[in-house]
Chains A and B, each alone.
Chain A
Amino acid sequence: MTEKSNTLNIEVHHVTRIEGHGNIVVRAKDGVVEKVEWQVPEAPRFFEAMVRGRSWEDIQTIVSRICGICSVSHSLAAIKAIENAMGIQVSQQTDRLRILSHYAEYMESHILHAGYLVAPDLLGQKSVVPLAASHPDLVKTVIGLHRLGNEWMELLAGRMTHPVTFKPGGFSSLPSEAQLRDLQQRLVAGLPELEKLAQAVLSLADRLPAFTRDTEYIGLVDGQSYTFYHGAIGSTDGKETVPVRQFESVVNEYVSPQSTAKWAKWHRDSYAVGALARFNLNAAYLRPQAAKAAKAFGLKPKNCNPYFNTVAQLVESFQIVEHALEIIDAVLAAGVKSETPKVAPKAGEGTGAVEAPRGTLFHRYAFDEKGICLKANLCIPTNQNHANIQKDFEAFVPQIISRDPQEVRLLLEMLVRAYDPCVSCSTHFLDVKFV
């Protein structure tokens, strides 16, 4: 970064503490902003091309590798799409256990983001490493919750990253009732730890910049719950919902005149997905402790401060634990039944959507009669957020341009981090622009 007389140049090459690679470029002269760009130089990996010719049985194993942090979401979206394409119905037990597995990923991912990636900014540090010495209790709480999320995932999905138990039609192995009871106890014990983390963040909440920009928020809605797994596509801009099989009519990829990056828009030039979007759409259905946490932070729908995405993640962490306890009760009440997925492949095209921790994730595949994949189209949350990050930059930079360049840089890095971008995921679909 350089500062010459009244010229400001900020170039952050590879923003740190995010998943994947992104750059920030700001140029200003005499207090007038000349250029503001959020750029993505991640190496593309071409998953949509790679799955062609592969068997329906191997799809989730492949696409799980799109992202190490949201591998459960990618696997589930793929399996839902395969089941949709082949007309496969799953049992209520499978549905409940999938949602329970999905929540494990939320716990791991939200705690990772709030505790390891964002907390250092709020405490003026470059990483969580120095916090181990300066804030040992906080770090211990974060690690404990992160471990809980991972052990939860290991029990249901077979391991911490890249699930092995998920199959079209059901699970390859099931947890025992005793294991579920044990998980339930550990989740109950986790709630006070979550409360400690929420209190710690709350005590630092005044360090979250007070920036707002009226934004359209998009996510799954079902009109009766704070859904992460079922439902249709809803928007804060309108009451109509769109079935997931028509997701292309929502994401509307387009090329902006000022950038070659493909962006997404529905009712406006950009929209946001993720925890804050889900909160803005579904806050009415939060469980008691989650609602209480939101109230403590003064978080109310519709909140348009992107920095509060991290707060919404904390609220969701309560929500998933509270709902998980209910799911386990229901599964135990019905008794865990041994089920072997028996599926015969069939030709067809199908779509699946889930809320990944970073926002709505869409997968679509077409198969021939032997179940060989002919075509794939995947639409990723971070891809849907890139345009909105750019629009936030354009609105925020003129407001802060007279501040110290180091501070401008930090505020913009924090803004990118607030979206919890998952750039490895998103770049398979992006047209990328280099400086």
Chain B
Amino acid sequence: MSNPRVAIFDFACCEGCQLQVVNLEEDILSLIALVDPVEWREAMSDHSDSYDIAIIEGSITRPEDVDRLKTIRERAKILIALGACATMGGINKLKNNFDLKEVRQAVYGAAAGMAHLNTEPTRALDEIVKVDFKVHGCPIDNRELGAIIRCLIMGKTPVIPTYPVCVECKKNEVVCRYEFNEICLGPVTRAGCGARCPSRGFWCFGCRGYAEEPNVAAASDVMDHYGKTVEDLKSRLTLFVGQQEFPP
């Protein structure tokens, strides 16, 4: 059996998740032995229109991006969304909370009317095409990406935690950020990061998206116990997992 052909693409993003692929360091060499990398603009000058697995970082913000994404979907057998921008729109969705005309004006001033500065409400990949697997996080955890690719090659379904970050904090014996009078999104955010931020004294800002079945009642109890409100929680939720209304 020949190695699957893998291509990596990006849309609007910081390219930090692709950097996590480079950050696999020596493990890249063992992954390259399992796959045939055919296109990756950030790291390679090679180009190909023929691939089995497409890995895509970034969110969709322009009409021309929609066409390009659809083309990639048609060509790929498996499409993997890499990181928060691709899986849920990520930080780029903050923009959707504003009137987009005004957003252009604020950044580009008098030049805001120019056609190439057009921008649409930010969308995640699965708001446009079918996504087969999501690698969560901002940035992704590259060990999780390695495990997912190895699972796919072996024909297994990768297992991604459905429980919230609080579970990992408890496991790591990390003191709850609410004890420090902070708003932490751990109770509603999907685990799998090893509670990396709370473990280093910083609140969870929800970069892996909502846990599949967040215990809303328990989260509400936590809010009550520490004298916080759901509004407090929502203010931080909009950073990565906000359910912003799209303007008409």
**Chain A residues within an 8 Å CB radius of B46:** 126-127
Closest partner residue, chain A, to B18 (CB atom): A68
Most chain B CB within a 10 A radius of its CB, from A16, A41, A126, A146:
A16
| A424 in contact with B202 given A16-B41, A49-B95, A161-B19 (CB within 8 Å) | no
Is A284 interfacial (CB-CB < 8 Å)? no
What CA separation (Å) do A5 and B139 show in the bound complex?
50
The answer to the question of A71 belonging to the interface, with a C-beta cut-off of 8 Å to chain B, is: yes
Interface string of B227-248 (1 = CB under 8 A from A): 0000000011001000000000
B residues 17-67 near A (Cβ < 8 Å) are 17-20, 22-23, 25-26, 28-29, 32, 37, 40-46, 58, 61-62, 65
CB distance from B195 to the nearest CB of A (A): 11
Q: In the assembly, what is the distance between CA of A434 and CA of B239, in Å? A: 31
Query: Are B107 and A46 touching (Cβ within 8 A)?
Result: yes
Residues of B within 8 A of A43 (CB): 11-12, 58, 61-62, 65, 119
Once the chains bind, are B200 and A424 in contact (CB under 8 Å)?
no
Among B94, B103, B111, B239, the one with the most A-chain Cβ atoms within 10 Å of its Cβ is: B94
With contact pairs A50-B91, A129-B37 given, residues A68 and B103 touching in the complex (Cβ less than 8 Å):
no
Please tell me which one of the listed residues B32, B42, B61, B235 contacts residue A132 in the complex, with CB atoms under 8 A apart: B32
Quick check: A431 and B201 within 8 Å, CB to CB?
Answer: no
Taken together as a complex, chains A and B put the C-alpha atoms of A66 and B16 apart, in Å, by 9
Q: Which residues of A contact B22 (CB under 8 A)?
A: 112, 116, 146
Residue A359 lies at the interface, judged by CB distance under 8 Å to chain B: no
- A19–B200 CB distance below 8 A: no
Contact A16 B13 (CB under 8 A): no
Say yes or no: A260-B114 contact (C-beta < 8 A), given A46-B95, A173-B201: yes
Name the residue on A nearest B85 (C-beta): A65
Nearest CB of chain A from residue B97's CB, rounded to whole Å: 8
Residues of B within 8 A of A161 (CB): 16, 19-20, 23, 139
Check if A116 sits within 8 Å of B239, measured CB to CB: no
Tell me the smallest distance from the CB of A328 to a CB of chain B, in Å.
19
Query: Does any Cβ of B come within 8 Å of A390's Cβ?
Result: no
Nearest CB of chain A from residue B120's CB, rounded to whole Å? 10
A-B contacts at CB below 8 angstroms, number = 166
B108 contact set on A, CB distance < 8 A: 44, 431
Q: Which of A55-63, A80-88, A199-207, A391-399 contacts B (4 or more CB under 8 A)?
A: A55-63
Complex CA gap A169/B235 in Å reads 22
What 1/0 flags go to A131-155 for Cβ under 8 Å of B? 0100000000001001100100000
| CB of A227 to closest CB in B, whole Å | 26
- Quote the shortest CB–CB distance from B140 to chain A (angstroms): 9
- Are the C-beta atoms of A50 and B94 separated by less than 8 Å? yes
- In the complex, besides A161-B20, A429-B107, 10 extra interface pairs with C-beta distance below 8 angstroms are A45-B12, A46-B103, A62-B91, A67-B16, A128-B43, A160-B23, A161-B139, A171-B201, A424-B13, A431-B108
Q: Offer 9 A-B interface pairs, CB within 8 angstroms, sorted by A.
A: A19-B15, A43-B11, A45-B61, A46-B103, A53-B97, A61-B239, A62-B239, A67-B15, A164-B202
The interface of chain A, by Cβ under 8 A from chain B, is 14, 16-21, 41, 43-46, 48-50, 52-55, 58, 61-62, 65-69, 71, 112, 116-117, 120, 126-129, 132, 143, 146-147, 150, 158-162, 164-165, 167, 171-173, 260, 262, 424, 428-429, 431-434
Binding site for A on B (CB under 8 A): 11-20, 22-23, 25-26, 28-29, 32, 37, 40-46, 58, 61-62, 65, 90-92, 94-95, 97-98, 102-104, 106-108, 111, 114, 116-117, 119, 138-139, 196-197, 200-202, 205, 235-236, 239
